[in-house]
Amino acid sequence: MAVSDHVDLPTFMEGVKKRNPHQPEFVQAVQEVAEDIFEFIGDKEDYHAQQILRRIAEPDRVVSFRVCWEDDAGNIRVQRGYRVQNNNAIGPYKGGIRFHPSVNESVLKFLAFEQTFKNALTGLPMGGGKGGSNFNPKGKSVREIMRFCQSFMTELYRHIGADVDVPAGDIGVGGREIGYMFGQYKRITNEFTGVLTGKGLEWGGSLIRTEATGYGAVYFLANMLATKGEDLVGKTAVISGSGNVATHAAEKIVQLGGKVLTLSDSGGFVHDPDGITQEKIDWVKTHKTHRRGRMQDYVAAFPGATFHEGKTPWGVPCDVALPCATQNELLGEDARTLVANGCRAVAEGANMPTDLDGVHVFKAARLLYAPGKASNAGGVAVSGLEMSQNSARRAWKEEELQQMLKDIMLGIHQSCLTYGDQGGGYIDYVKGANIAGRKKVADAMLAFGVV
């Protein structure tokens, strides 16, 4: 008798929990996807017989390595580095690198799992991966960061390649860190290839990659509002985070006529009732990235704003909300508050910022709610376009790339409608994204047989 994974959801999740002890973020990400796709694949015996669900919830490989470096005081420091290569059924592994003290195997496995479906949704040929280290860039000198990046790449280089695995940035990794890592890769291999994305414009980078995640999230939000005949003009927005994704999401909201009320960091949030204008966003970018300052300093620069230490911004009444900081930053209670305050739409800039309770609250309230794998896919989409430009050894113009980004975000919105339209004017974007993203990967896996 053939073995099949045709079991019910609780039994399937029991197995996932058993095989991944002490990995709550990974289990959470699998559960969110499994909740949606169980119903969809109920009658598709091929998927069950081939154990596709079970195989998709197991990374191809997890590489873990020691990263030694010397700090400015001459102390030897030891960090742990990782690369999770989750799935390359539809293209080379692709996904960011995160430097943050909270990085561990569970966090990177969840990110690589999500990345696989996100990348499939873009329509570009990219598999899913993620990497990083528990290195904390806060308080480190630029030379310490350089030495760490070089040491990290001295091991990572053997696992990646332009047709194998193409990392990029994520939390704590921006253009500067990509530069140090690319320099080290080139030095070791003597090859100039598109092995990383998010590169500088002078050395193989793509226009609009820096802006793409935040801009794309707002394009997606605008697409959702358009289904109700609405736009962003005059709408108030609450945004968390103050890094790459948050500041560019804020910028696009302002460009499209909305008013941004909040930004935040791990110290708390700023509430500016006058609106966070382009000038103020530019100040935040410079302050956080170049001066490596804190959001609490905003109130001295812009009196009229208030700083709320240790708090998240979800209690500020708003029309739209964009969580753009980190995972599990918006809990069930916050979701209930947003709904009670009349929030119309939520688009995730971060990966899995809403916990499972919050996801259920948004679904029950039939909110316009986009999961990160759909709404934050603009960043990796332009990374995919950077790979194309590198392979073709050419560079597209800004207007061409802007249009491609808009088209890709519209395409993802359409995929969500195809699989998430519940009738009665309600679109379940989580379900739509989970089914559409997973279907492409699963069908490719079926074609390969048992590998």
Q: Which residue type, as a one-letter code, is found at position 114?
A: E
Determine, following the binding rule CB under 6 A, whether residue 25 of this chain makes contact with ligand 2IT. no
Q: Tell me how far CA of residue 261 lies from CA of 241, 258, 277, in angstroms.
A: 12, 10, 9
Of 17-25, 88-96, 139-147, 352-360, which segment contacts ligand 2IT by CB under 6 A? 88-96
DSSP 289: I
When CB distances are held under 5 to 8 angstroms depending on the partner's kind, the choice from ligand 2IT, ligand NDP, none that residue 354 binds is: none
Residue 260, beta-bridge partner list: 237
Q: Which of 48, 83, 94, 147 binds ligand 2IT (CB under 6 A)?
A: 94
When asked if residue 437 is in the footprint of ligand 2IT (CB under 6 A), the reply is no
116 binds ligand 2IT (CB under 6 A): no
Site for ligand 2IT contains 246 (CB under 6 A) = no
**Looking at 93-101, 180-188, 217-225, 434-442, which segment touches ligand 2IT (CB under 6 A)?**
93-101
Strands (DSSP E) found in 3-109 = 61-70, 76-87, 93-99
Beta carbon nearer to ligand NDP, 154 or 375: 375
* 383 binding ligand 2IT? (CB under 6 A): yes
- Residue 13 CA: distances (Å) to CA of 25, 116, 259: 13, 19, 42
- CA 367, 373, 379, 385 dihedral sign is negative
15 by Cβ neighbours in 10 Å (0-12 / 13-18 / 19+) ranks as middle
186 contacts: CB under 8 Å, gap ≥ 6: 192
- The residue among 169 and 258 lying less far from ligand 2IT, judged by its C-beta, is 169
CB-based contacts of 190: which residues, under 8 Å, 6+ apart?
none
Among 249, 253, 335, 380, binds ligand 2IT (CB under 6 A): 380
Q: Specify the DSSP class assigned to residue 158.
A: G
Contact segment (CB under 6 A) with ligand 2IT among 157-165, 275-283, 376-384, 442-450 equals: 376-384
Q: How far is the CB of 118 from ligand 2IT (least distance, A)?
A: 6
The number of residues that bind ligand 2IT (CB under 6 A) is 12
Binding partner at 197 among ligand 2IT, ligand NDP, none, C-beta below 5 to 8 Å by kind = ligand 2IT
Bridge partners, residue 308, by sequence: 269
Which entry of 109, 130, 285, 439 is annotated as an active-site residue?
130
243 binds, among ligand 2IT, ligand NDP, none (CB under 5 to 8 A by kind): ligand NDP
Q: Does 133 bind ligand 2IT (CB under 6 A)?
A: no
Instruction: Report the interface residues with ligand NDP, using CB under 6 A.
Output: 100, 102, 169-172, 213, 241-246, 265-267, 324-326, 329, 349-351, 376, 379
3-class secondary structure, 157: helix
Structure token digits, residue 213: 């995640």
Task: Compute the distance between CA of residue 110 and CA of residue 118 in angstroms, rounded to an integer.
Answer: 12
Alpha carbons within 13 angstroms on the beta-carbon side of residue 337 total 14
Other C-beta atoms closer than 10 Å to the C-beta of 201 total 12
Q: Which residue is closest to ligand 2IT by CB?
A: 96
Q: Are 222 and 232 in contact (CB under 8 A)?
A: yes
Q: How many residues make up the chain in this entry? A: 451
Both tokens of 274, joined, read 């006058």
Residue 241 interacts with ligand 2IT (CB under 6 A): yes or no: no
326 binds, among ligand 2IT, ligand NDP, none (CB under 5 to 8 A by kind): ligand NDP
Find the shortest distance in angstroms from Cβ 273 to ligand 2IT: 32
Number of C-beta neighbours around residue 76 at 10 A? 8
Least distance in angstroms from the C-beta of 228 to ligand 2IT: 27
User: With contact defined as beta carbons under 8 Å apart, do 170 and 132 qualify?
Assistant: yes
The answer to whether residue 95 forms part of the interface with ligand 2IT (CB under 6 A) is: yes
Report in angstroms how near the CB of residue 8 gets to ligand 2IT at its nearest: 31
Which position has the token pair 């688009």? 347
Q: Minimal CB distance to ligand NDP: which residue?
A: 243
Our answer to whether residue 118 is catalytic in this structure is no
> Could you give the CA distance from residue 320 to residue 343 in angstroms, rounded to a whole number?
6
Taking the least distance from each CB to ligand 2IT, the nearer of 170 and 428 is: 170
Hey, which residues are catalytic here? 130
Binding interface with ligand 2IT (CB under 6 A): 94-96, 115, 118, 168, 170, 197, 351, 379-380, 383
